[in-house]
Amino acid sequence: MALLRTAHQDANLKGVMCRTLLSVDWQGYVYDCDFNQMLGLPLRRNGRPRVHINDLAGSDVQGDSIVVGDHCYGCTAGQGSSCGGALKS
Ligand code: SF4
Ligand 1, atom 1, residue with closest C-alpha: 72
84 belongs to a structural domain? no
The whole-number pLDDT of residue 63 equals: 87
63 belongs to a structural domain? yes
On the question of pLDDT at 89 being above 70, the answer is no
Is 27 or 87 the better-scoring residue by pLDDT? 27
89 belongs to a structural domain? no
83 belongs to a structural domain? no
42 belongs to a structural domain? yes
Ramachandran category for residue 48: left, alpha or beta (phi over 0 → left; psi -120 to 50 → alpha):
beta
Q: Provide long-range contacts, Cβ within 8 A and 24+ apart, for 72-76.
A: 72/16, 72/35, 73/1, 73/4, 73/5, 73/7, 73/8, 74/4, 74/35, 75/12, 75/16, 75/17, 75/18, 75/35, 76/8, 76/9, 76/10, 76/12, 76/13, 76/16
66 belongs to a structural domain? yes
pLDDT bracket for residue 82 (50, 70, 90): confident
81 belongs to a structural domain? no
CA of 67 to the centre of ligand 1 (A): 8
The whole-number pLDDT of residue 83 equals: 73
9 belongs to a structural domain? yes
Q: For the chain, what is the domain count?
A: 1
CA of 11 to the centre of ligand 1 (A): 14
Ligand 1, atom 8, residue with closest C-alpha: 18
User: pLDDT digit string (tens) for 23-79?
Assistant: 999 999 999 999 999 999 999 998 999 999 999 999 999 889 999 999 999 999 998
Task: Determine the straight-line distance between the first and last CA of the chain, rounded to whole angstroms.
Answer: 24
Q: Range of 16's domain?
A: 2-76
CA of 61 to the centre of ligand 1 (A): 16
